[in-house]
Amino acid sequence: MAIWKSIKTLTELKKNVKTANHLEVDDRIIDNVEEMADQFNSYFTTVAEKLRSQLSNTQCDLSKLLNFVEL
């Protein structure tokens, strides 16, 4: 929670929250909130794998990241 407070403070995010009342997916309009939630869930649970598949297969040295997280 403290991290999000810091991010909001640093980026000066305002309370102007826009909500989507419909989505267009595969040339069809979705306005049912449960189906919209399912579509968002499907997108966000697969986006990382889709992006990863587009990258070359390289080895990463995560030791600096692990050291940072442990601090």
Per-residue pLDDT tens digits for 5-51: 887 787 776 666 778 899 999 999 999 999 999 999 999 999 988 88
User: What token pair was written down for 66?
Assistant: 């692990």
pLDDT score at 8: 77
pTM of the model: 0.50
User: What token pair was written down for 15?
Assistant: 């309370």
Q: Are 26 and 39 in contact (CB under 8 A)?
A: no
User: What token pair was written down for 63?
Assistant: 């030791």
